[in-house]
Chains A and B, each alone.
Chain A
Amino acid sequence: QKEVEQNSGPLSVPEGAIASLNCTYSDRVSQSFFWYRQYSGKSPELIMSIYSNGDKEDGRFTAQLNKASQYVSLLIRDSQPSDSATYLCAGAWAGGFKTIFGAGTRLFVKA
């Protein structure tokens, strides 16, 4: 039983478009969520943290959390080819100590 699920993709969008990445979680996962970006052969890099319902914006990135639907998403506006990477959704386990990762969604931004 997976606790954090993502569509593995690949998701392909044209340059300048909005990329929408989605993630669902089981009720065992706490309400602290993170989005990481991982380029091929590199380590994960934190993009966004979100802890409460609603939207959180940081530059071209917007994270959305809906606790009632157990759903978290990441929107990337004005997508650039340099955004092409795997995006990992992660949640911290309530009452535990580990951060649980989804399998990741591969994003391709076509120039």
Chain B
Amino acid sequence: NAGVMQNPRHLVRRRGQEARLRCSPMKGHSHVYWYRQLPEEGLKFMVYLQKENIIDESGMPKERFSAEFPKEGPSILRIQQVVRGDSAAYFCASSPRGNDNSPLHFGNGTRLTVT
């Protein structure tokens, strides 16, 4: 299966812990996007990355959140010192090109629960 792979599918963290979400794009895709979805809400853009570069992080909270997409390995979304409000589904998507004609292909998401 060459689709977008995210892991873990479910992640439970206590308040104050760190959460690490991983995403491997589709084969041949070098553009990765992270979105957050709260229950009964739409997808909110967080960050767009290419290999080794953050292109647009305008949707990322200023504190505690960071993202990377190293030369080797998956993209990582890191949330430090999690709070209950971070509980959400986090979706990763990839595209072959970073222009506005590329539809996004989504992974199955990571559902983060903060207790």
Contact = CB atoms under 8 A, between A and B. Distances in A.
Most central of B43, B59, B98, B101 by chain A CB within 10 Å: B43
A102 B41 CA distance: 9
A42 B9 CA distance: 11
Interface string B21-61: 00000000000010100000111110010000001101100
B33 A99 contact: yes
A78 interface: no
B42 A97 contact: no
A100 to B, nearest CB: 7
A103 B42 contact: yes
Given A88-B43, A103-B42, A30 B100 contact: yes
A98 B103 contact: no
A96 B108 contact: no
B97 to A, nearest CB: 10
A69 interface: no
Contacts of B59: 98
Report, as a range, how many residues of chain B touch the other chain: 20 to 34
Contacts of B105: 46
A42 B102 CA distance: 21
A25 interface: no
Contacts of A96: 56, 100
A44 B43 contact: yes
Contact of B45 (A34, A46, A49, A100): A100
11 contacts: A30-B100, A43-B106, A43-B108, A96-B56, A97-B56, A98-B33, A98-B59, A99-B33, A100-B45, A101-B45, A104-B42
Interface of B: 33, 35, 41-45, 48, 55-56, 58-59, 91, 98-109
- Lowest 8 CB-CB distances: which A-B pairs, in order? A92-B100, A103-B42, A101-B43, A43-B106, A30-B100, A98-B45, A32-B100, A101-B42
Given A43-B109, A92-B102, A104-B42, 16 more contacts: A32-B100, A34-B104, A43-B108, A44-B91, A46-B103, A46-B104, A51-B101, A92-B101, A96-B100, A97-B48, A97-B55, A98-B33, A98-B48, A98-B58, A101-B43, A102-B42
